[in-house]
């Protein structure tokens, strides 16, 4: 995935530190909420409805600090 992101970055002439996607914070939160609701419906696990974008950030930070070996 890193390679694809770099190719996208270079191919679209994105400045260093620039945004990859122009999406609002509210749009991200809404997408996470919709996805969480679908996951709850498909799995029957109501606790999935409580997943937030903050949970995803926290999980990713935990992953980078403890799991990732690069």
- How confident is the prediction along the chain (70 residues), in pLDDT tens digits per residue? 788 888 888 888 888 878 887 889 999 999 999 999 999 999 999 999 999 999 999 999 999 899 876 5
Q: Which domain holds residue 44?
A: 24-70
For the question of whether the overall pTM of this predicted structure is more than 0.75, the answer is: no
Domain count across the chain:
1
| Distance from C-alpha of 14 to C-alpha of 22, rounded to nearest angstrom | 12
* pLDDT number for residue 5: 83
54 domain residue, yes or no: yes
13 domain residue, yes or no: no
* pLDDT number for residue 70: 57
Element (H, E) at 44: none
Q: CA of 17: how far to CAs of 35, 37, 45, 60, in Å?
A: 28, 32, 38, 19
Nearest to 34 by CA among 53, 62, 8: 53
Ramachandran region, residue 13 (left: φ > 0; alpha: ψ -120 to 50; beta: rest): left
């Amino acid at each position: 995935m890193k390679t694809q992101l770099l190719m996208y970055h270079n191919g679209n002439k994105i400045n260093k530190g620039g945004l990859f996607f122009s999406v609002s914070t509210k749009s991200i939160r809404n997408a996470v909420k919709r996805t969480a609701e679908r996951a709850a419906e498909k799995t029957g696990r109501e606790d999935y409805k409580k997943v937030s974008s903050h949970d995803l950030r926290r999980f990713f930070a935990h992953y980078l600090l403890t799991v990732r070996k690069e």
